[in-house]
Amino acid sequence: MTETDLFTKGRGFPFDHISPSFISKYETCPLAALYYREGRTKQWDPRYAEVGRYTHSVIEREYRPDAEIHEPECGWDDEMRSRHASAMAGYRDLVKRDDRYRPVIDGSEVRQYPEHHIEIEIQGVPMMGVIDLLTVRGSSIEIVDWKTGVYKAADEQQLRIYTRMVSEIMAVPPRNLVATLCYLRDPKKIQRRVPFTSATAIDHHIVHDVIEPIRDLQFVPKRGRACARCEYRHLCEAW
């Protein structure tokens, strides 16, 4: 039985897990999120995503020297090289200005975990995610998400969910966690601290705004400004 059959038969929650990034996609447009999880064919320019993936892997190697570099599958052009150079310049400037981001290879007081996988269960559904950089500095824990694109409000909710997950996994109160979005190509917003709300509010949001609608197979298109940039526009029944 295929994954699509599970939707048509209505046999419970159709995914084996969800992630903070998927929640961001679902809130932007439930139907696009469904197409994403089904692996539908995209119609979009892959260069920018490939540059972001490559840049993340280069930064990961700063903290983990044996990390694999993900070369763009679509090759390189001048615009891609320019975007990558701009992001790395932002990263270098950030490290120079703020010691919290300086790679520490053998620091006994500081432990850094790039591309750190985390998982908890909410309402019987595994929630999985990958934090770009998790740093443990004494009793303080720092969560960093590198962004090579532009600011979106959903980015902040994604960081709040990461904070909620790390708080439970490491058994520390959220007040001991500092979550920061780093927009490497935007000098005006290069650091954006994300304040936490509460675990109750986050869980309520995940359960009632995401898990319950998915259980009810609510994958309706949401029209908005994001439609013009949607990689599934050619499939959408509302376009």
pLDDT digits (tens, 9 = 90+) for 72-102: 988 899 999 999 999 999 999 999 999 889 9
pLDDT digits (tens, 9 = 90+) for 115-155: 999 999 998 899 999 999 999 988 889 999 999 988 888 89
Report which of residues 230 and 87 the model is more confident about.
Answer: 87
The pLDDT, as a whole number, for residue 184 is: 96
- Nearest-angstrom CA–CA distance, 127 and 123: 10
Q: What is the pTM of this model?
A: 0.88
Backbone angles phi, psi at 80, to 5 degrees: -65, -45
- Nearest-angstrom CA–CA distance, 227 and 219: 15
- Give the least confident one: 36-50, 117-131, 158-172: 36-50
The structural domains of the chain, with segments of one domain joined by +, span: 15-229
Contacts of 111 (CB under 8 A, 6+ apart): 135, 136
Bridge partners (DSSP) listed for residue 177: 141
The answer, yes or no, to whether residue 6 has pLDDT greater than 50, is no
Q: What's the CATH code, domain 15-229?
A: 3.90.320.10
The pLDDT, as a whole number, for residue 43 is: 83
The answer, yes or no, to whether residue 8 has pLDDT greater than 80, is no
* Averaged confidence pLDDT in the chain: 89
The pLDDT, as a whole number, for residue 12 is: 64
